[in-house]
Chain A
């Protein structure tokens, strides 16, 4: 290695610093914000984006500096970006159900009634004829 630092190394380093900073901010949001629905924002957006930054930095490092072709980072980031919203949605559903059952206090309380003849989709059983819904007779 010569004394000069190459451009890909600068790029990878910047991406790693940026990514870990985002992960740190996400975790700080998890500690700092007052209620669960607000706390969901930190980890689901900032931390996931931060991990994306770290993975892009890793791709840059392994491709441009070491010249090794790996698809693992792509697979990890694809899987993570698909699953993170689903996990957040499940946690929000748990919170909504516990709010309605009165098992946890929330700043806004349980959600208001949806309408005269049906409830919110989270609470209701699937309607007749919904694709993929199999009713037990």
Chain B
């Protein structure tokens, strides 16, 4: 079980990451360019991984980290695929 200090730290972390996700969402809608939107999505994936890690600590189950790892991989592949598409007009040449 998490003690009182860690519970407070986790509460702070959840609020901070939620705020960060809201700011990323603002940038995702505002733009103004495609590259900004890719960057905002990439940052959202990083913050979502952080949320999953904090959730894993709060619940005390190690299975959350497998989800975090999958999200890290899929987020990276998605970012590179979108950039590649904009650069070359194709993903796999």
* A114 touches B (CB below 8 Å): no
**Chain B interface, number of residues (Cβ within 8 angstroms):** 51
Please, how many angstroms separate the alpha-carbon atoms of A75 and B53 in the complex? 13
B:1-22 near A, CB below 8 Å: 1, 3-6, 8-10, 12-13, 16-17, 19-21
Contact of B4 among A5, A61, A62, A80 (CB under 8 A): A5
**In the complex, residue of chain B having the shortest beta-carbon distance to the beta carbon of A12:** B6
Count of A residues near B, CB < 8 Å?
A: 56
Q: Which of chain A's residues has its CB closest to B4's CB?
A: A5
**A→B interface (CB under 8 Å):** 1, 5-6, 9-10, 12-14, 16-17, 19-21, 23-24, 26-28, 30-31, 36, 39-40, 42-43, 47-48, 50-51, 54-55, 57-58, 61-62, 66, 68, 70, 72-73, 75-76, 79-80, 83-84, 86-87, 90-91, 93-95, 97-98, 104
Residues on B lying within 8 angstroms of A by beta carbon are 1, 3-6, 8-10, 12-13, 16-17, 19-21, 23-24, 26-27, 33-36, 38-40, 42-43, 46-47, 49-50, 53-54, 56-57, 60, 62, 65-66, 68-69, 72-73, 76, 79-80, 83-84, 86-87
